[in-house]
Amino acid sequence: MSQLKSGDAVMIVGANSLTQNIGKQCELREFVVEGDIFVAPNGEVYSHADVPCWTMVGDGLAAVLEGELVYLGFGVHEPRHLMPLGDLQPEQQKSLEVVE
């Protein structure tokens, strides 16, 4: 897999849990490892206590924060479950949209 970086557009293509996020496009925010602190879009501060993951934002994303499923347009996923989208042209972008 190519080297991911903050700001990259990706599609979620797999998940151990939160399978409702599969197929969603999002933007990477920051890479976190166990013990790292991050701020979610709701302004709350969280400590990451899992395998290394990317935090991300995108329409309709779900996350589990403090044991509760929330829909904040925010998610946390492992790099192996992400597909970089690169620079897409508008017609390519439209073909990747998931019909809900």
Q: Give residue 39's Cα distance to chain centre.
A: 14
Per-residue pLDDT band at 2 (split at 50, 70, 90)? low
Alpha-carbon distances of 55 from 13, 19, 43, 66, 72, rounded to whole Å: 15, 16, 14, 15, 12
Q: What is the mean pLDDT of residues 6-20?
A: 94
For the chain, give the mean pLDDT: 85
Q: Does the predicted model carry a pTM greater than 0.85?
A: no
What is the pLDDT, as a whole number, of residue 100? 43
* Span 52-82, pLDDT tens digits: 999 999 999 998 877 888 888 999 999 999 9
- DSSP-derived secondary structure for 39-79: E-TTS-EEE--SSSEEEEE-TT-EEEETTEEEESSEEEE-G
